[in-house]
Amino acid sequence: MASISIRNLVKRYGNLTVIPDLNLEIADHEFVVFVGPSGCGKSTLLRIIAGLEPISSGEIYIGDKRVNGVQAAHRDIAMVFQDYALYPHMKVYDNMSFALELRGVSRAEIDARVKRAAALLHIEPYLDRKPKELSGGQRQRVAMGRAIVRNPKAFLFDEPLSNLDAKLRGQVRAEIKALSQELKTTMVFVTHDQIEAMTMADRIVVLQSGTIQQYDTPETVYERPANQFVAGFIGSPAMNFFPVEWRQGQAILSLGGIVMPLEGESAGRLRVAGNAVLGIRPEHFVVTTEAADSVAINVKLVEPLGSDTLIHFDLAGVSAIARVDPSLRPKVGDRIGLRPQPGKTHLFDAANGQVLR
């Protein structure tokens, strides 16, 4: 068990810089999720921690040990790969015991550790099988078992759920979370799925173009996004964005001149900034009948999800979504009033996307 510290990390492939200058501190026992769109550098960062990618400059510490130039074999970390990367010619037992055997652990100790991990992951019946005789979910568990038996300083997960179907993904997600609480080990998990990030992480690293956009708890990242990118990436359906201006003492949507009812701090910040991008999450709209206190919209599409209803609409040339109570079932073409919940709106700098606080 150990902390992970990354200082002034730069990673280049030839002339292409994929990580320009990255600093990150992961505390001991912490479950940190790297999340971001494809190509943001999250897997590269994980592979750098693992020792599978050399760095161009900077420093990496695992615990107190500087591991720049230390081979993956000697970093004492375990990794679960996206395609599981089990050894096809070895039985499940041998897959799990291989790393211990390499470290000269005694036969009795290997046997005890493998059986303990197998029990934890419910894979005891498969110990004598080859990977090709297992389902995707079972292989995934074996890959985790291979990591667990080693008692490593840290676990690294590279999108391990992306090959599983939706139901299994949810199940394994919960199992990994439970495992992390039981093992109390530092875990770094890479995903492009923000639901995985929100549900599993102690802290989330949101990455874009090799740069950390925000590093905070899931609640903070959701409720107080640092910029427009984070706000748009975290949350599903994504946050709605409307260009907005402060004119004649009120917030006016830049396109269409529609008055947007804004209250409190948001109104104050917009008054100072003059213009901005207004962000409202779909779940932070309230349906209202009071025309004076709301924006009137025409319903374009209705998606009843059971737990709630998604209403699609256009507002000032922007396609937007509102998540409303499931009992509300407006019809396509209906005209309804929406207003943002007080205190739940976000304002971003129109030029650089940073949040206006």
Partner 1 sequence: MTDAANTDRWIRWLNTLQLVIAGALIMAPTVWMVLSSFKPSFEVTAYPPTLMFSPTLENYVELTKTTPFLSYALNSLVVTVGSTALGLVFGIPAAFAVSWTRISWPAILTLAARMAPGTLFLLPWYVMFRQIGMIGSYTALILSHAVITLPIVIWVLLPSFDAIPRSVFEAAQVDGCSVTRILWRIAMPLVASGIAVSAILAFVFSWNYFLFALVLSNGDTKTLIAAAFNFIGEGSTQWGALMAAATLIALPPLVLAALVQRWLVSGLTLGAVKG
Residues binding partner 1 (CB under 8 A): 50-52, 71-75, 77-79, 81-83, 85-89, 98-99, 102-103, 146, 150
Residue 146 vs 323, nearer CB to partner 1? 146
Residue 50 vs 190, nearer CB to partner 1? 50
Calpha distance 47→190 (Å, rounded): 10
How many helices (H) and strands (E) in the chain? 9, 19
Calpha distance 296→258 (Å, rounded): 9
Examine residue 37 and say whether the peptide bond preceding it is cis (omega within 30 degrees of 0): no
Q: At residue 180, what is the residue type?
A: S
- Least Cβ distance, residue 176 to partner 1 (angstroms): 18
Locate tokens 């036969």: which residue? 107
Calpha distance 131→122 (Å, rounded): 15
Residue 148 vs 244, nearer CB to partner 1? 148
- Least Cβ distance, residue 328 to partner 1 (angstroms): 47
- Least Cβ distance, residue 192 to partner 1 (angstroms): 18
Nearest to 74 by CA among 65, 82, 64: 65
Residue 143 vs 297, nearer CB to partner 1? 143
DSSP 82: T
Residue 61 vs 81, nearer CB to partner 1? 81
- Least Cβ distance, residue 205 to partner 1 (angstroms): 21
- Least Cβ distance, residue 147 to partner 1 (angstroms): 9
Distance of CA 347 to the CA centre of its chain: 22
